[in-house]
Amino acid sequence: MNRVQLRFLSQADNVGLARLMAAGLAGQGNFTLPDIEEIKVAVSEAVSNAIIHGYDNRPDGWVEVVMELDAQGLTVVVEDWGVGIEDVAQAREPAFSDDPERLGLGFVFMESFMHGLEVASTFGKGTRVRMRRLITEISHDAQ
């Protein structure tokens, strides 16, 4: 088991740091390169949401990413202390966005690339997204 934690200010440049950390930790596990690419996308979407929506693009909010690797998979928690989400079920609907310029696909990517997604949010207090990606065993006996 391994665990890492990264806390950074809500600035777009820091999305890359979170992606690097995810790739590095996932690389210690039995994930394939395509698996790792998908994990990076899911982490980017959650961190971007924290910056863009949680802090409304203000550069001075804290975002925290905690990742835990175990024999079965990788758990990622992304947290912000920003505006929060009033209606989580609505926010998670495909193509829902509070911004007409955006596609509203961030949660869709997280859902499809990870094996579990939980969104906990308190309006006015912040948001915590927890997602888990399992290591899928590849059978080397398969023809």
Q: Which residues make up the interface to ligand ATP (CB under 6 A)?
A: 45, 49-50, 53-54, 80, 82-85, 91, 96-99, 102-107, 127
Q: Which is nearer to ligand ATP, 70 or 98 (CB)?
A: 98
Q: Which residue has the tokens 């210690």?
A: 28
The residue from 19, 38, 45, 133 that is catalytic is 45
Q: Which of 101, 87, 88, 102 is nearest to 130 (CA)?
A: 88
| Catalytic-residue membership of 45 | yes
Site for Mg ion in 49-68 (CB under 5 A): 49
R_g (Cα) of the chain, nearest Å: 15
Q: Are 84 and 123 in contact (CB under 8 A)?
A: yes
Q: Are 101 and 109 in contact (CB under 8 A)?
A: no
| Catalytic-residue membership of 49 | yes
The residue from 14, 19, 38, 49 that is catalytic is 49
Alpha carbon distances (Å) from 29 to 16, 23, 46: 20, 10, 21
| Catalytic-residue membership of 118 | no
CB under 8 Å to 13, separation ≥6 — which residues? Answer: none
What minimum distance in Å lies between the beta carbon of 3 and ligand ATP? Answer: 22
Q: Which is nearer to Mg ion, 92 or 135 (CB)?
A: 92
Using Cβ positions, the residue closest to ligand ATP within the complex turns out to be 106
Task: Give the DSSP H/E element, type plus range, for residue 64.
Answer: strand 62-69
Q: Residue 73: which of ligand ATP, Mg ion, none does it interact with, CB under 5 to 8 A by kind?
A: none
Site for Mg ion in 104-123 (CB under 5 A): 106
Catalytic residues: 45, 49, 102
Q: Which residues bind Mg ion (CB under 5 A)?
A: 49, 106
